[in-house]
Amino acid sequence: MRVLAAGDHFVRNSLIAEALRRDLPDAALDLTELTLPWPLEPFGPVGEVEEASDAEDALIAALDGVEVCVTQMAPFTERVLDAAPALRMIAVCRSWPVNVNVAAAEARGIRVVCAPGRNAAATAEFTLGLMLSALRRIPEAHNSLTAKGHWDGSSYTYEQSGTELEDASVGVIGYGAVGSRVARVLGAFGSTVDIYDPYVRGDVHGMRAPSLEAMLRRCRVITLHARLTPETRGMIGAHELSLMPRGSVLVNTARGGLVDTEALCDALDSGRLAAAALDVYEEEPPRPGSRLFSTPNLVLTPHVGGASREVARKAAAFIATQIRAYALRAL
């Protein structure tokens, strides 16, 4: 079986190769490699797919005679698929194969698999880190001590002090693999947790909010974990922000398109929000001179919530099991 490992600088080809050889020790693997430039070069739309490395030509050349491709960022557009007649399986090391034209692949009899939940723990932990950073003003304290080189006593004044998660009302929007973990950990902090997810049934770690508006009116911290769909795009805009109690905090580690950036900056400038923390943006990376860089009380990180070494290893291992199942069926 000829396999292409089209890894990058996060899910490295060495991790893919190690996982494949561990799960398919007796298979006759002809493994070749292509290293894509992400994350040293940002992903973006390529052809008709949403998030991929701009590497169609290199991928086409590497796919010659390949039956299975393992990747995270390779752009499987119709153009690429047309040039890979031997391809039978695309294994994507991501929660969702947004770098693949899935309909076009399936129309050609190509199986597409992915690794749902592979970064759930990492993103949940990072969410709590951003939440604490925004609530307790940790970046400001760090910058005042290191960049300014002096001990700023004003951080201990009542006006500048942050707030705790214990007894705080926290709203979790989206109760999937990440949101459910965040809710569970918030419970351990002693927060009062509200859950809003109209698609989830059964028990949850917290109380179900009767509506999004009810949650926004009640909770002083909101954390977003919904998928980006036509229905959820811009779900937090000027109206929704106006419903939140004055001095609230918003955290987004899901998708940038869930939040209206201009409305968020307005809410921070006006003091409606005390702080916000973002790991994702409507446009990635934000343009130089973006209002985000000059808005006060805003913690920004460059879409690294799911970046842990464990995530890369988990993704490679999960995909290897999928390829092993495919190989067994092919025997």
Tens of pLDDT along 68-106?
999 999 999 999 999 999 999 999 999 999 999 999 999
Q: Does residue 190 register a pLDDT over 90?
A: yes
Mean pLDDT of 303-315: 96
**Set 41, 50, 78, 284: catalytic member:** 284
Q: What's the pLDDT at 89?
A: 97
- Rounded Cα distance, 4 and 59, in Å: 10
Q: Does residue 29 register a pLDDT over 90?
A: no
Q: Which residue has the higher pLDDT, 248 or 153?
A: 248
Q: What's the pLDDT at 65?
A: 97
Tens of pLDDT along 156-180?
899 888 999 999 999 999 999 999 9
∠ CA 138-158-162, nearest 5°, is 30
Task: Name the maximum alpha-carbon separation found in the chain.
Answer: 70
Tens of pLDDT along 316-330?
999 999 999 998 886
Tens of pLDDT along 209-240?
999 999 999 999 999 999 999 999 999 999 99
Q: What's the pLDDT at 330?
A: 66
Confidence of residue 149 (pLDDT cuts 50, 70, 90): confident
Could you give all domains of the chain from N- to C-terminal order, each with its CATH number?
2-118+308-330 (3.40.50.720), 120-300 (3.40.50.720)
Q: What's the pLDDT at 144?
A: 87
State what percent of residues in the chain have pLDDT above 70: 99
**Set 205, 255, 272, 282: catalytic member:** 255
Q: What's the pLDDT at 147?
A: 83
303 is an active site residue: yes
* Residue 38: half-sphere exposure toward Cβ, Cα within 13 Å: 23
| CA dihedral of residues 196, 93, 126, 210 (deg, nearest 10) | 0
- pTM for this predicted structure: 0.90
Q: What's the pLDDT at 153?
A: 85
Q: Does residue 331 register a pLDDT over 60?
A: no
Mean pLDDT of 295-324: 96
- Rounded Cα distance, 33 and 180, in Å: 36
- Rounded Cα distance, 267 and 289, in Å: 19
Q: What's the pLDDT at 224?
A: 98
* Burial profile 259-285: b = 16 or more Cβ within 10 angstroms, e = fewer: bbbebbbbbbeeebbbbbbbbbbbeee
- Write out the chain in H/E/C secondary structure: CEEEEECCCCCCHHHHHHHHHHHCCCCCCEEEECCCCCCCCCCEEECCEEEECCCHHHHHHHCCCCCEEEECCCCECHHHHHCCCCCCEEEECCCCCCCECHHHHHHCCCEEECCCCCCHHHHHHHHHHHHHHHHHCHHHHHHHHHCCCCCCHHHHCCCCCCCCCCCCEEEEECCCHHHHHHHHHHHHHCCEEEEECCCCCCCCCCEECCCHHHHHHHCCEEEECCCCCCCCCCCECHHHHHHCCCCEEEEECCCHHHECHHHHHHHHHHCCEEEEEECCCCCCCCCCCCHHHCCCCEEECCCCCCCCHHHHHHHHHHHHHHHHHHHHHHC
CA nearest to 223, candidates 200, 238, 201, 244: 244
136 is an active site residue: no
Q: At what angle do helices 177-189 and 120-136 cross, to 10 degrees?
A: 50
